[in-house]
Amino acid sequence: MKSKYIKEAMLIIISFVIGGVLTYVVIGKDINIGSTNNGSTGLTCSSANCTKVVVDESGISEAVSKVYDGVLLVRNYQQNQVASTGTGFVYKIDGDDAYIITNQHVVDGASKVTVVTSKDEEIEGTVLGGDSYVDIAVIRIKKTDDLIALQLGNSENSNLGDLVFTVGNPLGYEYRGSVATGHLAGKDRLVSVSTDNSLSSDWVMKVLQTDAAINPGNSGGPLMNANGEVIGVISMKLVQTEVEGMGFAIPIEYVNSKIETLEKGEEIEWPLLGVQMLNVTDAKGSYRYNFDIPNDIDSGVVIAGIESGTGADNSDLQEGDIVIAVNGEEVADSAYLRYELYKYSVGDTIELTYIRDGKEHKTKVTLTKSSNE
C-alpha cells in the first residue's frame, strides 16, 4: 500500500514538472517575441514612399508626428471678420508654393481665406477652385520651412475595423491641432446632402464612415490610416440626438479624380440632362402640382419641365413623366438621379426608365454640357 502512494506521488510531481516545462516553452517563446517587438506595425502602405509605423501602448504618436505640420486651420473671412473655420491639409509642395485641400463649404462665400500653421503662423491664401458637389476646394499659399506635404493613400485597400485617425480643429482656434482616433466603420455609404445649405437634399455622396470624433471645425481635414496616409477628406457628421460617433469622409480616390481640375481654377464639367426635377413625394403631398401620379408609385422623379435644345428635349421624355431608373439603377429622388447622372460625362448616352400613364417606358438621352445643373 505504501508503495502505491509513493508511485502516485511521483506521478503527480512528474506531471507538475512536465507542465511547468511546457508552460515555460510556450509562454517564454511569446515573451521573447514581445520583447523584440513592443507593438504591432501599421497597416500595409498604400503608396510607394510610405514608411510603416509601430502602433504600441503609446498609441499612434509616431504617425501623428509624421503629419502634424501638414494640417492647418482654415479661416473664412467675410466683411473683415472670421465668419467660420475649418481644417485643411497640404497635399503638394511645388517650388515656393504649398497646395491645400479643404471642403468647399469651409471657404464658401469668403472674401479672404487664411490658414494657421502648427507653429501658429497665419498665412493668406488664394482659393484656386472649388465645387459644391464634390465638396472640395484647393487653396494655394506661400510655403514656409515648417510645412510638410501629407502622403495620399488608397481607401480601397482599407478594411472595416482598421485603425484610423484625424488631426483637425474642432470648434476653431482654441482646440486647433486636436487628434481623434477611431476605426473605419463603413465603406461606400450613400448619404444624401444639401449643396446649398437648404433643408432638402439635392446630392448623394459616396463616403467612408468612421467612429472617430468629428466636430464642427474638422471639416476639410484628413482621415488617415495608421501609417499617416490620407484615405479620405472629412466632410460631415450625422447630427441627431440619438446618434453618436458617425462621421463621414470623401474617399481620396474621388478627390484625386477632381483635384487637378480645381487646382487649375477650372470648373468641373458636370453633364446636363436638361430637365426640371420634382420628387414624387413632394408632388404627391402638394396642391401646387397637378401631375397624375399612380397611387402605387411612391418614389422617383417627376419631369416638371424640359429645357430646349438639351438631350432630354431630343428624347421621348415629356413633362409629367416619372423617371425611376438610370441605366438600370433605381433612383428614389432627384438627389439619387443626379448621383447616377454624374457618373457619366458630356456626350455619353444613357437610358432612362420612366412611367407614363401607369406604364413603364425607356428612352435614350445624350448628355450635354453644363458646369452646374
Which H/E stretch holds residue 260? helix 252-263
202 catalytic per annotation = no
Which amino acid type is present at position 217? G
Which residue in 219, 235, 315, 334 is the catalytic one? 219
d(CA 75, CA 77): 6
What DSSP designation does 213 have? -
361 catalytic per annotation = no
- What cell does 140 get? 494655394
- What cell does 155 get? 481607401
Placement of cell 457619366 in the chain? 344
The answer to whether 270 and 371 are in contact (CB under 8 A) is: yes
Which residue in 84, 105, 155, 315 is the catalytic one? 105
d(CA 200, CA 111): 27
Q: 107 by DSSP, 3-state: which? A: helix
148 burial type by CB count under 10 A (0-12 exposed, 13-18 middle, 19+ buried): middle
Which residue in 135, 162, 202, 333 is the catalytic one? 135
219 catalytic per annotation = yes
- Catalytically active residues are 105, 135, 219
